[in-house]
Amino acid sequence: MRPKTHYAKSDDVHIAYQVAGDGPLDLVWVPGWFSNIEANWERPEMAYYLDRLSSFARLLMFDKRGTGLSDPVSVTNPPTIEQRMDDVRAVMDAVGSESAALIGLSEGGPMSMLFAASYPQRTTALVLTGTFARALTDDDYEIGMDASAVRPMIDAMADAWGEGLIVQFAMPSADNEETRRAMGEYERSAASPGMARALMLLAMEIDTRPVLDAIRVPTLVLHRTEDRLIPVEMGRYLADHIPGAKMIELPGEDHVPWYGDTDRFVDEIQEFLTGARRVAEPNRVLATVMFSDIVGSTQRAAEVGDRRWREVLDRYFELALRQIERFGGRQVKTIGDGILATFDGPARAIRSATSIASSVRSVGLEVRAGLHTGECELTESDVGGIAVHIGARVADLAAPGEVLVSRTVRDLVAGSGLVFVDRGEHELKGVPGPWQLFAVQA
């Protein structure tokens, strides 16, 4: 659910802000040069990022003056970095936050650094993501951008404001027509073209290098190694010049953290601020698990020899995978001469199992299979849960050439035309209660 928008008074300017989550620490998210706190939640990737942050903290979000839902300001007199610090204090005061950690993204980073140096008593920690102390080159700062190249880029982005041109720099992994359209809508809701240009030009004038040594709060610098907008060298400079700062470089070319590996990004922030990483919730789904293995494999291997048996196994796995994929299944793994696969429908799982049994006879093999449908915990590389154990125990009881299923599977495929033979009730090792099993009739 989208948090309610409130307003805090900073001098004579109204600053729009939201609060999400109720974690034990306060976390102020300082966005880049433009934002709209309500439109943030309409973008699934960004909403997920904010949800992750608010899962372990009370997350304070705001639109800087002149952007989003906050009061507009003069394009010819854009807000100073000191005024923006006042805006952060106003939001913290409005929610009764005495101290908070700050996350500064991109152009929001320099202001966060200055705030931490100026108000250490109100700053518990500092997280700097894809940001810089100075954007342009200087005599003693060769890693900056060339001013002669930056101005035409700013002009081009301002002239095309509302068309999502920034996608190619800030989120290149998602650079497509749909992302540019959505980003264009976001741009129009976050700032006018003139304000966008003024704020970009202002960002080029910022230089917080003199205050880095004065930052005395725990600091984490997160930067993607191939960031197209702010080179990683600028992040390394921050880590080298802020006392005690920790630098973590993450793979990827996206500038904003809600594209690319968002979970890894937030995991690092969560661990730095709380001392513990998120325990990922398993993806629990209803699925049909199928176990199959070769009957008499040890004897056959001894008869034909290791080399020939390896060839037979390779052919067996090839044929089995073909039938699993044919019926929309996913081969999870192979264990010796056994196969574990999952399906989103029990009838397809049964037909896959019978097709495997039929096809492998061409290489002189006989298999048996066991199936059960239940709630499973899915990951990218494995599957777990009691349903998996039940499927394995059913397979153990299958006779050579037999496809054996639990009553759950039999009941779910009623009307499919499949015919079963009752094999009676059985005790499944490690699973409570009697289980009625059925063999699929050829």
Structural domains present in the chain: 6-274 (3.40.50.1820), 283-440 (3.30.70.1230)
Q: Are 311 and 339 in contact (CB under 8 A)?
A: no
CA separation for the pair 392, 435 (Å, rounded): 13
Q: Are 47 and 8 in contact (CB under 8 A)?
A: no
Q: Mean pLDDT of successive 10-residue segments in the chain (442 residues)? A: 91 96 96 94 90 95 96 90 92 97 96 96 97 95 91 90 92 90 94 93 92 97 95 97 97 94 94 84 83 89 86 91 93 90 94 94 91 86 86 94 96 92 91 91 82
Where are the extended beta strands (E) located within 99-245?
100-105, 123-129, 219-224
Residue 2: per-residue pLDDT: 82
Residue 279: per-residue pLDDT: 66
Half-sphere exposure for 69 (CA within 13 Å, toward CB)? 15
| Nearest partner of 39 among 10, 3, 77, judged by Cα | 3
CA separation for the pair 21, 3 (Å, rounded): 9
Residue 362: per-residue pLDDT: 83
Residue 114: per-residue pLDDT: 95
CA separation for the pair 392, 387 (Å, rounded): 9
| DSSP string for residues in 281-318 | PPEEEEEEEEEEEETTHHHHHHHH-HHHHHHHHHHHHH
Total-model pTM? 0.67
Q: Are 222 and 130 in contact (CB under 8 A)?
A: yes
CA separation for the pair 313, 297 (Å, rounded): 10
Q: Which spans in 29-176 are helix H?
A: 44-54, 81-94, 108-118, 147-159, 167-170
